[in-house]
Amino acid sequence: MPRPDFKPVRAEAVCITGARLLDPASKLDAAADLLVADGRIAKIGSAAGGGFEGLRIDGAGLIVVPGFVDMHAHLREPGREDEETIRSGAEAAAAGGFTEIACMPNTNPPVDDRPSVEFVRRRAAGLVTDVHPIAAITKGQRGDELVEMADCAEAGAVAFSDDGRPVEKASVMRRAVEYAGMTGRPVISHSEDLSLSDGGVMHEGARSTRLGLRGIPSISEEIAVDRDIRIAEYVGGRIHIAHVSTAGSVRLIREAKARGVTVTAETCPHYLTLTDEAVQGYDPNAKMNPPLRTAEDRAALWEGLKDGTIDAVSTDHAPHSSEEKNVEFDAAPFGVIGLETAVGLLLTHGVHKRKLTLRELVLVLSVLPRRILGLSEARIREGAGANLTFLRPDAAWTVDRDGFFSKSKNTPFHGWALKGAAAGVLRGDQFYLAP
């Protein structure tokens, strides 16, 4: 099946009748009509659209929530536009229920100065999903010289990260946390001790031994998480831990928060739904960094999400071409796409399995990532700018990578039966509802 065209609608006025409106921050959870006019929520209530002329949507079976944010996506522009462009990434995000995403700087060339940050903002202008650039911590992501953080922040960078690579020198990370603090933007840590991961391709444990694959031990992540928490604590700065994958990291973050360190963290749907068992058939789509861990780690991640140790769920959407990804496990690049499956996976394996409430889902996908990145709040109340995600919590569907708007197909979830889907987004006057 060929990739469909992406068709958002520009609508001056939209009326959604009878949907469930859920916004924890506004203490709103009720079935009501919602009228959006000129990009703002004009009215909430019964018959909000009396005598209304515009786009009318039957909201039966729909839940409307504050717009979701993916705070960690890799788009491949500039450099690998065949794998993902800023536009195709934004379209995949909208189809997946995200009104805003933040994109990592490891493009070619990387986003590490004012012009490269401005390039992303320019390419993202007018797209239905807003794309916020994350600038590199160090020039060329080489780990030595800090980028001009004030310049990058002024141009629109919402955070700093060398994601894809750790910042190896603790002294550089220390200065990064200090300088980023002056801009008010967080440093996002790709926490990995390269000397411990040492060419590994999957989680180090009984299974890696059996499969004859080189392992990445949990301590590769945990030692780096511990280091960066200690740096933030020492300088009185902020650190955000990307893609937490181990029980040990959850424990470290929980303890740090308890003693008042300004640390936040995210995990990803694949760590919440898969384990290293997925590597059994040597499927390259089960290869990501950090690697899929054990069932105990997975349980600890759900627990951390539930008790607020982990603040956000991000996708770590990492597009790769089939030619590069579909090779021998050892040789395949790390990473899977996730923008179009995240919400469905979290509804199916979180909400429907009672590991998360819908309210908590809104916290980890909207409220908290917005707070971490300093983005405007998305609220469902009269007068607020329209920034909304639509959910069909009971829709049964099967993941089909050939129907994705992403230019890449490297998902481990192809063929999965899910219950609950992202149904669309409304941001400003741009509206997209899945067919």
Query: DSSP assignment, residue 332?
Result: S
CB of 62 to Zn ion, least distance (A): 34
Q: Would you say 66 or 166 has its CB closer to Zn ion?
A: 166
CB of 307 to Zn ion, least distance (A): 24
| Pairing mode of beta strands 430-433, 9-10 | antiparallel
Q: Which of residues 58-77 bind Zn ion (CB under 5 A)?
A: none
Distance CA 200, CA 202 (A): 6
Map residue 173 onto helix, strand or coil.
helix
How many binding residues for Zn ion (CB under 5 A)? 2
Q: Would you say 160 or 432 has its CB closer to Zn ion?
A: 160
Alpha-carbon radius of gyration of the chain: 21
Q: Would you say 32 or 102 has its CB closer to Zn ion?
A: 102
Q: Which stretch binds Zn ion (CB under 5 A): 52-60, 129-137, 185-193, 219-227?
A: 185-193
Q: Which stretch binds Zn ion (CB under 5 A): 123-131, 182-190, 250-258, 371-379?
A: 182-190
Contact between residue 311 and residue 294 where contact means Cβ atoms under 8 Å apart: no
Q: Would you say 315 or 389 has its CB closer to Zn ion?
A: 315
Q: Is 82 a catalytic residue?
A: no
Q: Which stretch binds Zn ion (CB under 5 A): 25-33, 137-145, 188-196, 392-400?
A: 188-196
Which residue is at the shortest CB distance from Zn ion? 190
Of 43, 76, 87, 190, the one binding Zn ion by CB under 5 A? 190
Task: Identify the active-site residue in 297, 316, 330, 402.
Answer: 316
The amino acid at 123: R
Q: Which residues does residue 326 pair with via DSSP β-bridges, in sequence order?
A: none
**Quick one: tokens of 108?**
């070619």
Contact between residue 368 and residue 46 where contact means Cβ atoms under 8 Å apart: no
Contact between residue 145 and residue 117 where contact means Cβ atoms under 8 Å apart: no
Q: How far is CA 120 from the centre of its chain?
A: 17
CB of 166 to Zn ion, least distance (A): 8
Q: Would you say 215 or 291 has its CB closer to Zn ion?
A: 291
CB of 58 to Zn ion, least distance (A): 41
Burial (Cβ within 10 Å: 0-12, 13-18, ≥19) of residue 317:
buried
Q: Which of residues 116-175 bind Zn ion (CB under 5 A)?
A: 163
Distance CA 238, CA 224 (A): 15
CB of 242 to Zn ion, least distance (A): 5
Q: Would you say 33 or 316 has its CB closer to Zn ion?
A: 316
| Greatest Cα pair distance in the chain | 68
CB of 165 to Zn ion, least distance (A): 8
Identify which of 416, 293, 264, 286 has the alpha carbon closest to the alpha carbon of residue 346: 416
Contact between residue 288 and residue 270 where contact means Cβ atoms under 8 Å apart: yes
Q: Which stretch binds Zn ion (CB under 5 A): 48-56, 183-191, 221-229, 403-411?
A: 183-191
Enumerate binding residues for Zn ion (CB under 5 A). Answer: 163, 190
What is the set of active-site residues?
A: 316
